[in-house]
Structures are given as C-alpha cells and as structure tokens.
Structure 1
C-alpha cells in the first residue's frame, strides 16, 4: 500500500474567528491529498476530465480529533482504502506539525461520464489506472 504525503502551511483565510481551521477546509485539503496520490501513481486527474470523465464524491466521512491553527504546517496522508474497478474509497489522516492526529476521513468516488453522469468501469476505460489502484489498495 502506498501512502502519499502532502505538506501545506495553514493560511489565515482558512481559519475562523477562534484562529482554528474552519471545518470545510479539511475537505479541500483532502482533495489536495487525493491529487498528490494520483500524481504519485503517475496520472493526472485533469487528463481524465479531458476525456469527458469526472469523479464526484458520493460519500464522505470525516472525524475531527484536534484543532489546527493559523501558521502551523499540516501533513496530509492519503491512500486507497478500497477499490473494486468502479468505486474508489480514499483514506486520509491529517496531522498538525506536532504530529498529532487532527482529522481522519474517507471519501468514496465513482467515475462517470460528464454529459450524463452514467458510471463507467475504470478497469475497462482506464486500464493503467486500474492496475495501479489494484496494486496500491489497502
């Protein structure tokens, strides 16, 4: 199993009045982690979109453990939790700079045709992605 790592610095605009990262920003960070994982595997999500395929989130689970504050750096760890040729579940751990676990989460995605949202088989349409995901899933 491959675990991708992406480090980012918390920007002021990502915090609330308490100086804590606003909860919705973790979803954006999860997307950054997903993108990094896909790049680590040698692919680009933008290339899939150019072929008329998108990968919407169909389910999301997130659990907040400890706050992250402005000025800290966080590390987003991302992996393929499960994959069945049609659905992909990505797993995430986000740690603050003290290496304390701040957030855990999962997002489930299905690849669909952009024009009609009909699901496609990753195995058939993107065999290279399929092979890489099979090797890297948990």
Structure 2
C-alpha cells in the first residue's frame, strides 16, 4: 500500500454561495493528491505521458461528511492499495489539518491506455518498478 498526503488551502474561488467548498472541487483536490502521490514515487504524471501512456478516469465516487470553508487547510490522503491490476484504484480521505475532522472520502479508478492507440494496456513496467518498493515496505 502506498499513501501520500498533500496539503491544500481552500481558496475563496473554491467556495459556493453557502461559503462551503463547492462539491465539484473535491474531484480537483483528488487530482492534486493523485498527481503528488505519483510525483512522490519519482514518476510524475508528465513522465507517464512522455512514455506514451495516459490514465483516463473511468469511475469516481465521493461521500461528504462536513463542509470545508475558505482558508481551511485540508490534507488529501491518497492511497493506492493494489499494484498488479490493469486498473489503478486510488482512495482518498480529506481531513481538516490539525484536527480529526473528516471532510470527505472518495475514490477514483483509472485505466492505463496507450496515447497513440487509445487502447487499454497493463500498467507499464516503469510504473510497476517505481511503486514496488513502497509495497514491499508494507509486507
């Protein structure tokens, strides 16, 4: 299992008329958490694309527990639990920094595709190699 925590400060532009973070922003926060998780392994998403792969979103889910508001600092906990699957399933927990406040939980599922053919493929060796050490630490 691999987990990375990314901090995000809620911007005024992220909030709605109720002064809560707009519900659709959480998928953007998940994206930030996901890209930073990949970067933490030494394989940023830009490198995945340079090697001829993409990771389109094929499924997403989200559950809200309490609102976040302007200027809150949120921790986005992004976790990959499985390595050798053709799909990449990432789970997210959003907490208010410095508290036990659970703001939201969710997941995204992605599929590796070749950039040139747009056909689904198994995760490339570079990806598996970059992530394997993190999974061995937990065994």
TM-score, normalized by length of structure 2?
Answer: 0.87
Aligned partner of 1:109 in structure 2 is 110
Aligned partner of 1:95 in structure 2 is 95
Ranges in structure 2 where 5+ consecutive residues have no aligned partner: none
Consecutive aligned runs of 4 or more in structure 1 exceeding 3 Å deviation: 123-127, 132-138
- CA contact under 8 A between 1:78 and 1:93: conserved in structure 2? yes
Find the aligned partners of 1:2 and 1:56 in 2 and give their Cα distance.
Answer: 20
1:109 partner SS: strand
Matched, 1:78 2:60: no
Aligned partner of 2:26 in structure 1 is 26
- CA contact under 8 A between 1:91 and 1:107: conserved in structure 2? yes
Q: Deviations over 1:57-113 (max 9, x none)?
A: 111111111100011111111110333331110010001233300110111111101
Aligned residues: 138
RMSD of aligned alpha carbons: 2.2
TM-score, normalized by length of structure 1?
Answer: 0.88
- CA contact under 8 A between 2:20 and 2:70: conserved in structure 1? yes
How far did residue 43 of structure 1 move? 1.1
Find the aligned partners of 1:94 and 1:81 in 2 and give their Cα distance.
Answer: 17
1:3 partner SS: strand
**Range with greater deviation from structure 2 (119-128 or 27-36):** 119-128
Matches within 5 A, 1:1-138: 1-97=1-97, 98-124=99-125, 126-129=127-130, 131-132=132-133, 134-135=135-136
Ranges in structure 1 where 5+ consecutive residues have no aligned partner: none
Find the aligned partners of 2:2 and 2:134 in 1 and give their Cα distance.
Answer: 10
How far did residue 3 of structure 1 move? 1.9
**Range with greater deviation from structure 2 (50-59 or 120-129):** 120-129
